[in-house]
Structure 1
Amino acid sequence: MDDRNPEGQAVAFAGGKILAVGPHEEVKAAVGIGAKGIDLNGATVFPGFHDCHVHLMQHGLELRELRLGRSNDLESVLEAVVEKARQVPRGEWIRGNGLPLPLWKDRGLTAKVLDEIVPDQPVLLLSQDHHAAWVNTIALKMAGIDEHASNPSGGIFHRDKKGRLSGLLLEKAISVVTRVIPEPTQKQLHQIAHEAAQDLANHGITTAHHMAYEPSSYWRGIASAASDADFPVRVWACIPQQEIEAASAIGLATGQGSEQFSIGGAKFFADGALGPETAWMLEPYTGTKTKGMAVDTPAELAQRFPLALEAGLIPVTHAIGDAANRAVLDVISNLSPLLSNFKIPPRIEHAQHVHEADILRFSDLEVTASIQPIHLALDVKTVKAKLTDRVHRAYPIRSLLSAGGLIIFGSDTPIASPDLLAGFTAAVFRRGLRGEILGSTEAILPLEAARAYTVDAARSIGWDHCSGMIRAGFHADFTIFDRNPLKLDPATEIYGTIKSGRWTSKRATV
């Protein structure tokens, strides 16, 4: 990734920093006699990969929950819930995740059905994209939701054809339930954060960009755990936009902290997601009259972006639909004086569907497009079904790059797997799970994909002086593959991960 020195045979490091990189003999001469050698048996070493969009604590929590992503029928889901109910103490919440909403919206998963198998314990099952959830009646009652409840701002309590609550919650309606779930203790959160970070390291990740939307206690848990010397990843941690005033009161600002744990931006949500048709589109979804919805409305963004910037927090905004992306760009276009005080640009997270007229605006306004290619692999069928006449606007990675935009990649875990190689190949081949192609003209080159995880990822958070390249003086952070991933061999695997010169994950044979 270093244009000045793109390849080397060996790298030397000590004290967590890179000392030298280049031909074997030159590196050996630079470090002198007595240096310990590691033979990687022909493996390929890259700069440590960033995952530029993770929900760190939620990832750790969901490692402990029911994983329902591979459940193909209602019976298997209900069996898993019953089995989990046997395992948890009576009265505790039964939680699961991973159900794709397009497959499950009309499959009979309702509060009534859940009541029949678990009548006296609250149940919460999140959709794969976390923009929908299914709950039973006791969960609704604990949250104070009854048949007379009005939809919360930015959310929907779904009702059946007779107008009765179905148990399906959309967008901010989910938080009405989750806020009554007892939070883990700080000791538990500390351990959960370590488990999440270790799983990321096992996937080859050395730096995580945390996109906050959880309770503030979760953020404190991450801050505490990430400060441990043995924490497996570096963290750039965003703050929920609802906490701007609290962060400002104690002087928290983007870039503060260390290169182990650093304050990120203020996280906003301009819209929802494609699956539940809550991503905000310029035109209705195919065969419907709905255009989705704004979550943090344009008026709210126009009011709170300046508050964030004045507090020293760069805006980082979830926007999936083309209307949402345009709305965010419109607000940013009026904030040049405030943005000039920052060393890093504002970000749009996802940028999944962008109108042609807005492509150049990312570059012109210096807005980073933080994209999750693995979603492309999961979304091909949904995009073609719901946005039939504008498939060409989906995941416009090549167009954004060609226009001079800064593109970075992540996974959105636990919404999708933190599998680097799956995301990498999705960006290059644009292939769905069943082999179908989504807009081949928007494909990018393997080296461009690697840059989006490394040097460009580091630049997006102002760490281009210490991360993203294998260069003397930079962090000794490495993602190691058993073969060169740029050659796109489907058998490629993660060989190991090193952070600050220490193995955080490795094969037993290393």
Structure 2
Amino acid sequence: MFADRIFTNAAVFQPAGAEPADTVAIQGDTIVAVGRGVDRDLIGTHTDITDLGGTSLLPGFVDAHAHPVAAGMAALRCDLSGLAHDRQAYLTAIAEYAARHPGESVIAGAGWYGDAFPDGFPTRHDIDAVVSDRPVILTSHDYHGAWVNTRALELAGITSATADPTGGRIIRDHTGEPTGVLLDRGGDAVNALIPEVTPQFMRQALLEAQRRLHSVGVTGWQDAAVGAEFFGLKDNFATYVDADEAGELTARVVGALWWEAEQGAEQLDGLCARRSLSGHSRFTASMVKVMQDGICENCTAAMLAPYRAVAGHDIPSGQSFIDPEDLHKVTALLAGERFGIHMHAVGDRAVRECLDALEHAIASHPQFNARHQIAHLDVVDPQDIPRFGQLGVIANIQALWARRDKEIVERKLPLLGPEREPWHFPFASIQRHGGTLAMGSDWPVTDPNPLWAIHTAVHRTGTHADPHAIGDGVFDTPLQAQEGISLRSAIDAYTAGSAYANSQDRAGRISEGMRADLVILDQDIFTAEDVGTLRAVETIVGGKTVYRG
């Protein structure tokens, strides 16, 4: 048996307790040897031997929570995500896009940040100044808000007399007129104006996103909203199945099928049918995504105590999207059909409600190795931190958020108040109490580069490589430094932890018999001053190179 490729003189990242190694051999899609020095018995006529010169060889990163099709769609539209947080930069980009696409009846796009505007939100008048003849609909970077022009409001029929919809909010000025920002389901009416996208466009978006993820070392991911239709997003299930059947999906992907909160048990048969239609090669729809609240910045995250300084809010403690009693029924139904459950919970009340519901599901189906998980965990009450380890519920974290960005400091922390700030993204506390960490990006909410997130998970500060790390102290004042985790733990969370969350037990570690899903970095990650400045130079899935840069 000869190896196809041998990597040597590498800083090989291995599981804790494993013998140090500097050489890895792969044959086909499998790692066949890990050790020190090259075993001559593995060298054949066609064996490729690569000296890595001391740079890191890691398991491929697995993104445990992302929305790649949405990110790809944004990249193909009016994409503001790569710009500086600046009002004029956004308006210039919108005007230039409109000029380049005169035939588009609706200009759609995404990626703006609220901290580019004086009061945290833009207005319709901003866009009107550059495009007024056709509707413009731009989703915020966090996908919880839509920024639109006056024409879009007119065509959607949104006026001062329009009531806030369930699960959404229309931002209004002092006279009651809509300002041009629509939160959560408040954006449904304007997003209905966006023409239906074609299957070809969706497929192109997926492949563009896959290319980007491979370029930062990602070999697999979990799409956390397969089938969701909101904020201009379309059902992407067929996109994945078709790409998989065509052999275009080079990553390993788990789909979390979208649970419609407005429906009930009647949707279960459809979810089971979709699961049975997946699993051809690289895509398996084995999870279900349940959304329990919104985000703190918009006061839609469900909190145990009221937000501070939120005069005029109808729901001062946020909103639970599903009644807790009903949530118990939902999780028990899904576990009964052997679905893993992926829950969105930002506020501490939502986290508790999700833990309670999962505890009920686990008790009802104790033999099911479900890999249930709760994503985001912006605020976790101290009483609930030990429950992740006790219940075996995975903490699906988005570490890039755990820093003092301007938007967090100015918009979020004042709403939480000093008494809740210590429990803001409590990664170390969850780990210390036996909880398993899996890491994801929530891309396109934030950038998909795992190395940026790993830096922040360790230091609780921003990396200088990230243009979105903006604000006084973002690089040198940690956000609750005691919740930083070790570099080894952070790498584990983005590799073995996320692979575990995806039920991919042959991925996430460099050991004999594991799949050859690997990433080569340009430096040794353990000697770098700023991990975020490192880059992937080669990404390998199943022994095949999918990116080289």
Match in the other structure for 2:340 = 314
Q: 2: CA distance between counterparts of 1:107 and 1:157? A: 15
What does 1:172-187 align with in structure 2 at a 5 Å threshold?
172-187=185-200
Q: 2: CA distance between counterparts of 1:311 and 1:175? A: 31
| Comparing 331-340 and 401-410, the one that deviates more | 331-340
Task: Give the residue type in structure 2 aligned to 1:350.
Answer: H
Q: Any conservation in 1 of the 2:496–2:509 contact (CA below 8 Å)?
A: yes
Match in the other structure for 1:485 = 525
Q: 2: CA distance between counterparts of 1:348 and 1:108? A: 29
Match in the other structure for 2:489 = 448
Q: 1: CA distance between counterparts of 2:105 and 2:336? A: 42
What does 1:189-208 align with in structure 2 at a 5 Å threshold?
189-208=202-221
| Comparing 274-283 and 441-450, the one that deviates more | 274-283
In 2 relative to 1, CA 186–7 (structure 1 residues): closer, same or farther, beyond 3 Å?
farther
Task: Give the residue type in structure 2 aligned to 1:234.
Answer: R
Q: Deviations over 1:327-352 (max 9, x none)?
A: 11122222234442532321111112
Q: Any conservation in 1 of the 2:124–2:179 contact (CA below 8 Å)?
A: yes
In 2 relative to 1, CA 146–310 (structure 1 residues): closer, same or farther, beyond 3 Å?
farther
Q: 1: CA distance between counterparts of 2:516 and 2:59? A: 8
Task: Give the residue type in structure 2 aligned to 1:502.
Answer: K
Q: Any conservation in 1 of the 2:64–2:501 contact (CA below 8 Å)?
A: no
Match in the other structure for 1:381 = 409
Q: 1:440 Cα deviation (Å)?
A: 1.0
| Comparing 82-91 and 352-361, the one that deviates more | 82-91
Q: 2: CA distance between counterparts of 1:371 and 1:218? A: 24
Q: 1:25 Cα deviation (Å)?
A: 3.1
Q: Deviations over 1:356-390 (max 9, x none)?
A: 01101111222111001111134652444332312
Alignment TM-score, normalising by the size of structure 2: 0.85
Q: 2: CA distance between counterparts of 1:162 and 1:181? A: 29
| Comparing 72-81 and 269-278, the one that deviates more | 72-81
Q: 2: CA distance between counterparts of 1:100 and 1:139? A: 20
Equivalent pairs: percent with the same residue? 29
Match in the other structure for 1:498 = 540
Q: How many residue pairs end up in the alignment?
A: 505
Q: Any conservation in 1 of the 2:245–2:281 contact (CA below 8 Å)?
A: no
What does 1:131-142 align with in structure 2 at a 5 Å threshold?
131-142=144-155
Match in the other structure for 2:253 = 235
| Comparing 350-359 and 105-114, the one that deviates more | 105-114
Match in the other structure for 2:302 = 280
Match in the other structure for 2:73 = 61
Q: 1:6 Cα deviation (Å)?
A: 4.8
In 2 relative to 1, CA 486–42 (structure 1 residues): closer, same or farther, beyond 3 Å?
closer
Q: 2: CA distance between counterparts of 1:280 and 1:162? A: 28
Cα RMSD between the aligned structures? 2.5
SS of the aligned residue for 2:295 comes to coil
Q: 1: CA distance between counterparts of 2:244 and 2:489? A: 30
Alignment TM-score, normalising by the size of structure 1: 0.92
SS of the aligned residue for 1:283 comes to coil
| Comparing 63-72 and 265-274, the one that deviates more | 63-72
Q: Any conservation in 2 of the 1:186–1:217 contact (CA below 8 Å)?
A: no
What does 1:387-398 align with in structure 2 at a 5 Å threshold?
387-389=416-418, 390-398=420-428
Q: 1:152 Cα deviation (Å)?
A: 1.7
SS of the aligned residue for 1:470 comes to coil
Specify which of 234, 240, 264 is matched with residue 286 of structure 2: 264
Match in the other structure for 2:349 = 323
Task: Give the residue type in structure 2 aligned to 1:135.
Answer: V
1:458 and 2:499 equivalent? yes
Specify which of 55, 78, 83 is matched with residue 96 of structure 2: 83
Match in the other structure for 2:269 = 248
Q: 2: CA distance between counterparts of 1:120 and 1:312? A: 51
Task: Give the residue type in structure 1 aligned to 2:409.
Answer: K
In 2 relative to 1, CA 71–463 (structure 1 residues): closer, same or farther, beyond 3 Å?
closer
SS of the aligned residue for 1:334 comes to helix
Match in the other structure for 2:328 = 302
In 2 relative to 1, CA 308–78 (structure 1 residues): closer, same or farther, beyond 3 Å?
same
Task: Give the residue type in structure 2 aligned to 1:277.
Answer: C
Q: Deviations over 1:72-106 (max 9, x none)?
A: 44333222222211111334322232222355372
Task: Give the residue type in structure 2 aligned to 1:280.
Answer: A
In 2 relative to 1, CA 148–17 (structure 1 residues): closer, same or farther, beyond 3 Å?
same
Match in the other structure for 2:21 = 8
Q: Any conservation in 1 of the 2:521–2:538 contact (CA below 8 Å)?
A: yes
Match in the other structure for 1:430 = 460
Q: 2: CA distance between counterparts of 1:222 and 1:142? A: 33
Match in the other structure for 1:35 = 47
Q: 1: CA distance between counterparts of 2:206 and 2:444? A: 13
SS of the aligned residue for 2:513 comes to coil
In 2 relative to 1, CA 251–337 (structure 1 residues): closer, same or farther, beyond 3 Å?
farther
In 2 relative to 1, CA 335–107 (structure 1 residues): closer, same or farther, beyond 3 Å?
closer
Q: Deviations over 1:274-320 (max 9, x none)?
A: 22222222223333353222234434423432333334322211111
Q: 2: CA distance between counterparts of 1:38 and 1:398? A: 37
What does 1:46-57 align with in structure 2 at a 5 Å threshold?
46-57=58-69
Q: Any conservation in 2 of the 1:85–1:94 contact (CA below 8 Å)?
A: yes
| Comparing 125-134 and 278-287, the one that deviates more | 278-287
SS of the aligned residue for 1:454 comes to helix
In 2 relative to 1, CA 74–35 (structure 1 residues): closer, same or farther, beyond 3 Å?
closer
Q: Any conservation in 2 of the 1:91–1:122 contact (CA below 8 Å)?
A: no
In 2 relative to 1, CA 462–271 (structure 1 residues): closer, same or farther, beyond 3 Å?
same
In 2 relative to 1, CA 143–300 (structure 1 residues): closer, same or farther, beyond 3 Å?
farther
SS of the aligned residue for 1:486 comes to coil
SS of the aligned residue for 1:267 comes to strand
SS of the aligned residue for 2:180 comes to strand
SS of the aligned residue for 1:11 comes to strand
Q: Deviations over 1:15-56 (max 9, x none)?
A: 222222212333x32454542222333321111110111101
Match in the other structure for 2:237 = 219
Match in the other structure for 2:124 = 111
Q: 1:398 Cα deviation (Å)?
A: 0.5
In 2 relative to 1, CA 94–202 (structure 1 residues): closer, same or farther, beyond 3 Å?
same
| Comparing 183-192 and 258-267, the one that deviates more | 258-267
Unaligned runs of 5+ residues in structure 2 are 1-13, 463-468
Match in the other structure for 2:5 = none
